[in-house]
Amino acid sequence: MILSDHSFYHPYFMITTSFWKIKYVNLYSQFSHPDEILYSTNGDPVYAKKYSTMHYLSFVPWKKLNISLFESIIWKTSDSLYTRGFDLSYLNPVIFYRPVEFNLGSGDNAMIGLNLRFTAGEGIALYGQFVIDEFKIKEITSGNGWAGNKYAWQAGVKSFDLFGIRNLNIQVEFNTIRPYMYTHFTTVQNYSNAKEPLAHPSGANTKEAVAIAKYNYKRLYFNLKYVWSGFGLDSAGISFGKDIFRSWSDHPNEYGNKTGQGLHTTLSQLDMSVSYLVNPSTDMNLFASVTLRKEHNYKMDNRYAYFSFGFRTSLRNLYYDFY
């Protein structure tokens, strides 16, 4: 919900500071926005750029509890009138960004979040995230489904060495992302990079349940993963809140919005694999896998089955369990 490894590579500069029970991260990044072309050089398009600065403060008051606070700001580098570049006001490594943004009189995209992890017992960890893009307390409490209530949350549990079986690990997780989350009035300033979301790959307007089981014996690994998600797609050109690359101002209704609105679609995917680790240093392995996938709404009922086997070196994570 905060920041994933899903989007394309990009230049960044990171400072990590650790002392006592605190870890503090400053992350400065440059992203691209291919939907907008600034100009062309010898016929080659130069896409719009945007910068971000992020703070992540992690505190461990005692060994079973980790509390982390997150904030970010994203702004475009230029428009048709002037070139802004990297705003030095956001270089301050400790101040909250929202007051700075307000003082600048800007329309930059600010976001804050909370991350929690608690070790409930031996081999059991509870975790969760809550991220706010924008909302008003009175609109939340009214329950009227205001389009500006943009937030996302996650809750999950991990169990290690389940039932006393060594290396048997189970994870169950649930995610909810409100419509129009990660969007912005100015599309360049949405929470994305190179036409890919910076957070959850599904974008917004989604509910998702995930169950993962992993077991390994020496160098033999077994993996089982099931994902179910329900979300609302845009229909008839109307923005119902899933596509984060549309302007937030495109929302058709100020009130009455709910997660899954629009063309309600469900996705269920089951992944099963077995692999043998050849070289631990590069994660080189022999593998065989099967994927069963179903996508359904009233306009379609697609079912797929994929079988694969091979010899690979897994230096990066690839995700296929989203729409």
Which is nearest to 209 in space by CA: 271, 262, 159, 267?
A: 267
Q: E strand or H helix at 225, and its extent?
A: strand 220-233
The number of folded domains in the chain is 1
322 lies in some domain? no
* pLDDT tens column, 12-53: 999 999 999 999 999 999 999 888 887 777 777 778 899 999
240 lies in some domain? yes
Please count the other Cβ atoms lying within 10 Å of the Cβ belonging to residue 73: 23
C-alpha distances in Å from residue 274, one per residue of 125, 152, 217: 26, 33, 11
* Choice between 98 and 243, residue whose per-residue pLDDT is larger: 243
Is there a contact between 51 and 87 (Cβ–Cβ < 8 Å)? Answer: yes
pTM exceeds cut of 0.85: yes
Of 45-54, 55-64, 90-99, which gets the smallest average pLDDT? Answer: 90-99
Positive or negative, the CA dihedral 237, 239, 245, 246 is positive
Please count the other Cβ atoms lying within 10 Å of the Cβ belonging to residue 179: 27
Any idea what the CATH number is for the domain that residue 213 is in? 2.40.160
* pLDDT tens column, 101-123: 655 556 788 899 999 999 988 88
* pLDDT tens column, 183-195: 999 899 999 999 9
Of 34-43, 102-111, 274-283, 308-317, which gets the smallest average pLDDT? Answer: 102-111
318 lies in some domain? no
Per-residue pLDDT for 95 more than 70?
A: no
Is there a contact between 114 and 220 (Cβ–Cβ < 8 Å)? Answer: no
Parent domain of 189: 12-313
Please count the other Cβ atoms lying within 10 Å of the Cβ belonging to residue 45: 11
1 lies in some domain? no
5 lies in some domain? no
CA angle (181, 186, 188) in 5-degree steps: 90
